Structure 1
């Protein structure tokens, strides 16, 4: 099933040229952050584009100058989030046009992580109109209302240009988060263990994709398959060498969770020793696959979404229509009753660990192509994984899927208003609010006590 999904993505391609260096133009289709600059002549309706106007974007060691296209627009790819200065060269604007009094050719724009097309809109009017605006610096109440209405309409348009890309990228991130969350949910359902080392399974998949793409030169789709298989093997080895012996010794759940924390730290810093502390970049396809209004998705984005959807549908079918899927659900519902019914509980748990590792490896590989990968990437999203599992309902695979989509959307959409380092806060607040209304989670079942 996974191989078939990756085969679909092959048609879109996951290999391309390396990322551009700083102080040179960056392809906005490849960059995760960008600024959209628009220059228009609004002196006489309808508004007309202003092509060929130089625009300088600088900040954080980045400094490029580009020009608006035939449609009066130019999207500038950025090397990362931060605060950037945008300056329009008004000397190249046709004579007789000027900016309104409220607009300046220079402005500061704050760009959050994953925030594409933060709008810098330059609307030019005639010099006569500008003089009239300056002469009426104290507008009447009616004029004030008209100005506020126009400002509100502009802000509404800017919001629309930001919300749709955030929803699209949030949905993709939610799908990738679901691949990792389902493994956590199934492991908890069958063993009762909250595995704090699951993030390292995600990191392992991303590092394997990097290894078999950049070090061992394999095609991107084949590297993803190898990372998925190795992720499953890593999960199998973990259960065989560590968790199964601890279960046989009847170690309590709290000590098991502490062991998982220690394993997480050991594996995480082993990754740092082997791959270094820096961010690793994988080759990506910079060609735009989807352009719908303000939403621009690359082939890598679309490929990741397609693979995730196909694999998630495959997992849902396996859980609902196969013997091993029904046995897994039986063990998750009541382990003792499942054993009394003749189900080999240990075999089911071993398969769950292997499948959970494979799904986490696939999630890590796709995240490496969709974003970047480094030694602690899995640990960075571990909180989001646990939030998704808790929100959807502990121990339910379908709940993990729903919870992941909700968390992914909240994380990306909240970045419109919140700084990048606070974007997880909105997702956690949403989780808390929903749990106050439905403590068992969105798809969880109420437990009977007493």
Structure 2
């Protein structure tokens, strides 16, 4: 991993925003009006999906994908003006939060400024038409990163936006040469050494597919040479597999533990159960009590949790990527009080530097952080069992997430239907 990675990132919470779907006005100003509520959740970093103009050629839907970018240096008028964006950054900073933006360097729209001005920078079919490596991404065309002049241009894009933002989430970054990202990080560190670098990982199957057809794709271990945080797509299928019955909970917990040894000691993982590419966790779980349990579990995992706007209201529909499809906010289903408690607990020093382990038990997720003086213990009864064995002295223990106390007697604890987080002072 980048040696300068700040491990305080393990104590931070990210909030992902699709600007055009977030408010009734579909723009930066609408998001500004929601900043106080977002801050109250305990959010540290707001991350925006791409907000650039969208190409028209082969556009998907009537509005198009924000990932089919026409011009890296401009803002889609639907989202607002540059002055509106500057105001959003200013208002975010005034509330003590940071702001990140999505960077999409693998491809542009098929009619982008670059396809017109630098057509030789792109992959081509034998007939000379623009091409891309992924068949179903028909609204975009891939940049040919073997051309080093492209590297200079893209680093200039990063330098431009680094005037305003505090970090970059880099779309399908493993599909670009890792040497490009290392160079970009090195150059940007001279201007903004405090920038946060988040790479979207890709699933193992996708990496193998690309390699099988002759392209390169980097694993998370490689991406940590340039980035601070990586998605948890390396184990996402095991979380999904648990929810849909393809594997049991213990397999998912083992994969979480395995990350402790396959990545650098100072690794930071993004803990996200939903995003613009993945179905809502509320749709997958579809049970309010288990959803609260999963939410608490998400925040208690080692790394940086990310909320996709709407998750805090148990929204089940994922906003359309190609149309105007506002989030159906539902305050009556709010779990914001739970998230507020979780973001506070996330700030505990053990969540950053404590020894992290999962405790094997019968289909109950038990995670601990520990040092010589303190222990944080999370018990997540995802299968609604009556109780479980636990290595704690007899006594009553206060749940940090509620007013309830839990008794441990003869190394056994009875469980209910709420997530439990205990703080234990060690003698």
What TM-score results when the alignment is normalised by the length of structure 2?
0.22
Q: Rg larger in 1 or in 2?
A: 1
Q: TM-score, normalised by structure 1?
A: 0.21
Question: Which protein has the bigger strand share?
Answer: 2
The structure with the largest helix share of the pair is 1
Structure with more contact order per residue of length (Cα contacts < 8 Å, sep ≥ 6): 1
